[in-house]
Amino acid sequence: MTSQDGGLNSQGGSPLPRGSALLNDPLLNKGTAFTEVERDTLGLRGLLPPRVFSIEEQVERVMGNFRRKDSALEKYIFLTTLQNRNETLFYRVVAENLEEMIPIIYTPTVGQACLEFGAIFRRPRGLYLSIRDKGHIAEMLSHWPIHDVRMIVVTDGERILGLGDLGALGMGIPIGKLSLYTACAGVHPRYTLPITLDVGTNNEALRSDPFYIGINQPRARGAVYDEFLEEFVTAVARHFPRALLQWEDFGNTNAFRLLNHYRSKLCSFNDDIQGTAAVALAGLIGSLRISGHRLQDQRILFLGAGEAGTGIADLFVAAARDEGLSVEEARARCWFVDSQGLVVKSRLATLAEHKVHYAHEHAPVATLAEAVEALRPTALIGVSGSAQAFTQPIVQRMAEFNTHPVVFALSNPTSKAECTAEQAYTWSKGSAIFASGSPFAPVVLNGRTYVPGQGNNVYIFPGIGLGALCADASEVTDSMFLKAARTLAGLVTSDDLAQGRVFPSLTRIREVSLAIATAVAEDAYVSGLARRSRPLQLKDDIQQRMFVPEYRSYV
């Protein structure tokens, strides 16, 4: 989003800093790209090496240094340091090398970065709001130097990827997600704010670590937790009234109820529930172009019945209803295996609320393999964090039941994937339609190259956020996610499908985000949720608001 929304170019009404203060502001710093005239005018002469470099030359130097790093985590640290020094250059580097950069700044590397977040901590970014600060949250929000925040990603660190309770170490997730909002959808970094709500942790290893950066107490529950969240949401609504809030990596205990309680009170959504649902549904729709089947003919078996799995099922039900099925008929096509086996009606007394709609009449089934045998699904979706749960016999049986079995191993990071791309293609003799949450390399099998699709939420949430912001939507609805899924599926080309890929190349991510943002904004206008007048050329208007990582002239 550009200066017409009070962004970087206007300095938010603040005068341009000079000298070392300018060099220390990552939103304004250009490093060695400051021109001779700028150096004289802004008091920079002598504070920089004498040679002036273009941004293209800077990118080349950064990429050379980046590629010399020995590990993904070292590359992550290198990029974080660059982001904290010069945001325009950081986003230029990312934008020009998306397929190489996204796995570093987000999944899978961000998982390792969160595990080691305290050890690699260099410079604070975002806000850490502790439950011990209860009663002072509004004051703490006022400490953030930017007062026109539009995009907040917040976590309480309870369910970080497939890694579990990482407490305050989970801050790597909001930081990474907001980097993707800017890189993939052009949301200006000035508008973004990562927040961690530190309510303690039940991770005993962290609590016994003398260098753990969070508060050393068990995770808060019940009324104390709810009062803290209410204070936080109320303060956000008052202090940042135009902000969209993304709930990220909350545990199942809180994720559904927080979303349901606050989504109509504060413009917000949960990416783990709704974003995952949209990208998975887009993959399913794309798979139909390979299999030749219809959406309403699918029988989906989920491994994992948490927020991601039931979110996908709920959105599938909405899509199937559009194609003529009743709610009951659509739900009957979705089956779940959780830690206790197949979710069936005989278990109703002990099921969490979000599973109840998907408890069907069936004899108890203990294992995934037995469920596959009993149900003969057309699609198998893993959202459990159970590494290697899709075994060779399971994938082989899926291929026997289906000409083109859908096998989506969506758990992150890579170490938690239910199977690899190579396993899925090899065990199915190349017939599987495969997608994963983390990236896998192309697979050559019997002379054919298969390019696995990455069912990454990065295809969805940046465009959702951009569209909601540009329309100034008062609410983010399920309808918007359904339109996002259909839009994403429509952008898959014949060449993509020929390679077995049911998602577009990540190199097209800004095109994807713009298309989704346009569909989301249009939905906001049609549904009466937009608080901004509709421009005549909606797509052009949104595109003009997207941040482009280019240096501006200061003189």
What phi and psi values does residue 192 have, to the nearest 5 degrees? Answer: -100, 150
The pLDDT confidence band at residue 1, using thresholds 50, 70 and 90, is low
Superfamily in which the 54-266 domain is placed by CATH:
Malic enzyme, N-terminal domain (3.40.50.10380)
Please check the confidence at residue 13 and state whether its pLDDT lies above 70: no
- 166-212: per-residue pLDDT in tens? 999 999 999 999 999 999 999 999 999 999 999 999 999 999 999 99
Rounded CA separation 85/101 (Å): 18
- Average pLDDT of the chain is 95
For residue 177, the model assigns a pLDDT of 97
- Of 354, 129, 341, the closest CA to residue 253 belongs to 354
Contact (CB, 8 A) for 153 and 176: no
Mean pLDDT of 453-477: 96
Give domain limits for the chain: 54-266
For residue 253, the model assigns a pLDDT of 87
- Of 82, 263, 101, the closest CA to residue 189 belongs to 82
Let me know if 106 is a catalytic residue. Answer: yes
What phi and psi values does residue 163 have, to the nearest 5 degrees? Answer: -95, -10
Mean pLDDT of 410-423: 94
Please check the confidence at residue 3 and state whether its pLDDT lies above 80: no
Please check the confidence at residue 446 and state whether its pLDDT lies above 60: yes
Mean pLDDT of 86-115: 95
**Residue 352 CB burial class (10 angstroms; 0-12, 13-18, ≥19):** middle
For residue 10, the model assigns a pLDDT of 36
Residue linked to tokens 């959702």: 464
Rounded CA separation 82/76 (Å): 10
Please check the confidence at residue 2 and state whether its pLDDT lies above 70: no
- 311-356: per-residue pLDDT in tens? 999 999 999 999 999 999 999 999 999 999 999 999 999 999 999 9
Catalytic: which of 106, 181, 358, 425?
106
- 117-168: per-residue pLDDT in tens? 999 998 999 999 999 999 999 999 999 999 999 999 999 999 998 899 999 9
- 82-99: per-residue pLDDT in tens? 999 999 999 999 999 999
Rounded CA separation 459/463 (Å): 8
The pair of structure tokens assigned to 274 is 């709704």
Catalytic: which of 30, 177, 416, 483?
177
- Of 275, 281, 335, 283, the closest CA to residue 308 belongs to 275
Other CB atoms within 10 A of residue 527 CB = 14
For residue 252, the model assigns a pLDDT of 87
For residue 530, the 8-state DSSP code is B
Rounded CA separation 437/276 (Å): 9
Contact (CB, 8 A) for 409 and 417: yes
Mean pLDDT of 440-444: 96
Q: How far apart are the first and last CA of the chain?
A: 22
Mean pLDDT of 454-480: 97
The pair of structure tokens assigned to 301 is 């078996």
